[in-house]
Structure formats: structure tokens, C-alpha cells
């Protein structure tokens, strides 16, 4: 496998809480060949802050976002990293960039987060379907978070609606998590139910998320779940906790895919100008 990497790039949030800079920071100035997808890495540079990150393609001042409001959080003292695989192909010569907003509660000045992008170009990483469009569902730019979920204390909390109507026919999704504002976390175990319908009438049950310990936690995203969801579907979630809890933010990232020729490395589905988010 070969790749072209950006290295670790520091994104600085706007000085105003919950606002994003008007300009994007370059991750890769020009892809040197057609790319199968991205391996995105995110790590804390400033603790005690939540972030919403925009990823874009295109020349300076002409950027088009292909993933908007990607939630990431670094509670007090937590500088853990995350990796997210995005099988979205880009054409040679495309510039990749990013920007972010933050809760802006850091005692150390304007919050920052490290972002790195590795463009996977050849080799073993092949996918049956490439991602064509990513819909961000449930992000709350007013508080740099998502849909608030209140876990139950040693049981399941109530269902919270992520959206009353899915924006498109989705082929799959992944979920992102962060603390509600600057809530601290105790040593607890968490799980999540993801449901469709007003009831909801069907769901993934007991999706184990991990364990939060001493204001840190070991999960930011679920893996991609290839589950078809019809446009207009109601989507909800609820959470379970093993004890006394603080509240969580959840954001859903719904994916539309396109056939990629079996992942054989051909030109099918290669993106030069990306499709904006819905």
C-alpha cells in the first residue's frame, strides 16, 4: 500500500466560541495521484474542549466540504487520538483542507486540535462501494455538539430523536460522540440503542461503546454500519450507563455510496469536485 500523508496539522478554532474561521487550513496541497480514500487521524492539542471539524476539497477560497461538522472532543486532561477511514476517492491534483469550531472553554487560550490525512493510493485497501456523499445529521453548531442523549442510571434512558426525517436514501452510517458541553465523566460503562421509526419499531440493541474513566474515554466513533435507511425515516437513539452519568452528544453521518468497480483501482467514482453535504 502506498499513501501520501499530510503529517500532523494543528487546526485553531475561531476566537469566538462555536464559530469557525472563514479560511481553511491546508492538509495536503495537491494529491500526487488518484486516491482510493483517506485515513483521517484526530488528536487533542488542547484539552477541555469540544470541536466540530469541516473537511473540504478544492482550491483556496473555492473549497467544497465533503464532511461537515465531524464531532470530536477532548475533555479535561484527555488527549487521546482517533482514526476514521473514509473510502471516498479523490482525483490527482485535488487540495484537501480543514477548519474547526470549539466550545472555547480552554484555560490555555483558543482551542486547537491536531488533524492528519493519509491519502491511500494503491495496495490492499479496497472497498466494494465508495462513499459518494456524507450527510451530517444532528450536529448542533450553536453549542459545538450534537443531539443530547441522557443515559439511564444503571438502565436505559429515554429515546432521543436524531432526526424526524432522513435526508436521503442512505446505504449506511457511522455515529460520532462527545460530552455535552464540558461535562466530566466518571468511571462508567456505556452502551447505545439505535432505532428507526417513531417507536422506534426496530433497532440495533446494546451497541457497546466502551468505558469512560477519570474524565477520559476510549471511543469517538462507531465503525461504518452498512445498513439501508429510507429517505424520510425517523431515527432515534438512547443510551445505557452503569451508574451516575453526565449527558452525551451524538451526531449521525449518513452515507450514500457508489459502485467502485469492486475496488480494483480504476477511475470509477473518482471525485474531482465533491458533492456538498445534504
What is the predicted pLDDT for the residue at 47? Answer: 62
Over residues 111-138, the pLDDT tens digits come to 888 899 999 876 656 566 889 999 999 9
What DSSP letter does each residue of 20-46 carry, written as one string? --SSPEEEESS-SS-BSEEEEEEEESS
Is residue 81 a contact partner of residue 40, using CB atoms and an 8 Å limit?
Answer: no
Q: And the C-alpha cell for 66?
A: 465533503
What is the predicted pLDDT for the residue at 278? Answer: 37
CB proximity list for 32: less than 8 A, separation 6 or greater? 4, 92
For the residues 246-262, what does the mean pLDDT come to? 80
**Residues 190, 204: Cα–Cα separation, whole Å:** 15
Is residue 215 a contact partner of residue 187, using CB atoms and an 8 Å limit?
Answer: no
What are residue 95's phi and psi, to 5 degrees? -90, 135
Please report which confidence band the pLDDT of residue 36 belongs to, taking 50, 70 and 90 as the band edges.
confident
Please report which confidence band the pLDDT of residue 31 belongs to, taking 50, 70 and 90 as the band edges.
very high
**First-residue to last-residue Cα distance in the chain:** 32
More confident residue, 37 or 247: 37
Cell numbers 461535562 correspond to what residue? 183
Q: And the C-alpha cell for 84?
A: 476514521
Residue of 251, 241, 255 lying closest to 69 (CA atoms)? 251
Residue of 249, 260, 258, 256 lying closest to 277 (CA atoms)? 256
Q: And the C-alpha cell for 227?
A: 445498513
Domains belonging to the chain, first-starting first, are 2-131 (2.60.120), 134-257 (2.60.120)
**Residues 144, 188: Cα–Cα separation, whole Å:** 24
What are residue 270's phi and psi, to 5 degrees? -70, 135
b/e 8-19 (16+ beta carbons within 10 angstroms → b): ebebbbbeebbe
CB proximity list for 9: less than 8 A, separation 6 or greater? 25, 26, 27, 98, 114, 115, 116
Residue of 249, 217, 242 lying closest to 147 (CA atoms)? 249
- Is residue 90 over pLDDT 90? yes
Over residues 201-245, the pLDDT tens digits come to 766 665 666 544 444 455 688 888 888 999 999 999 888 888 777
Amino acid at each position: 500500500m502506498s499513501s501520501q500523508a499530510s503529517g500532523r496539522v494543528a487546526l485553531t478554532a475561531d476566537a469566538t466560541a462555536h464559530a469557525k474561521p472563514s479560511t481553511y487550513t491546508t492538509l495536503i496541497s495537491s494529491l500526487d495521484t488518484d486516491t482510493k480514500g483517506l485515513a483521517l487521524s484526530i488528536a487533542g492539542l488542547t484539552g477541555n474542549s469540544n470541536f466540530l471539524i469541516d473537511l473540504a476539497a478544492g482550491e483556496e477560497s473555492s473549497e467544497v466540504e465533503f464532511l461537515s461538522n465531524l464531532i470530536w472532543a477532548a475533555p479535561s486532561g484527555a488527549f487521546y487520538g482517533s482514526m476514521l477511514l473514509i473510502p471516498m476517492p479523490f482525483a490527482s491534483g485535488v487540495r484537501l483542507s480543514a477548519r474547526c469550531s470549539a466550545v472555547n472553554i480552554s484555560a490555555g487560550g483558543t482551542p486547537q486540535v491536531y488533524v492528519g490525512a493519509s491519502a491511500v493510493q494503491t495496495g490492499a485497501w479496497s472497498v466494494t462501494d465508495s462513499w459518494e456523499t456524507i450527510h451530517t445529521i444532528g450536529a448542533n453548531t450553536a453549542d459545538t455538539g450534537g443531539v443530547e442523549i441522557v443515559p439511564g442510571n444503571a438502565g436505559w434512558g429515554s429515546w432521543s430523536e436524531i432526526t424526524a426525517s432522513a435526508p436521503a436514501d442512505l446505504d449506511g452510517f457511522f455515529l460520532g460522540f462527545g460530552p455535552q458541553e464540558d461535562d466530566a465523566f466518571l468511571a462508567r460503562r456505556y452502551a447505545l440503542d439505535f432505532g428507526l421509526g417513531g417507536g422506534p419499531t426496530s433497532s440495533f440493541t446494546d451497541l457497546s461503546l466502551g468505558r469512560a474513566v477519570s474524565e477520559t474515554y476510549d471511543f469517538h466513533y462507531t465503525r461504518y454500519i452498512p445498513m439501508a435507511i429510507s429517505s424520510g425515516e425517523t431515527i432515534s437513539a438512547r443510551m445505557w450507563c452503569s451508574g451516575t452519568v453526565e449527558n452525551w452528544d451524538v451526531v449521525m453521518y449518513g452515507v450514500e455510496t457508489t459502485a467502485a468497480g469492486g475496488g480494483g483501482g480504476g477511475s470509477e467514482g473518482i471525485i474531482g469536485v465533491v458533492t456538498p453535504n445534504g
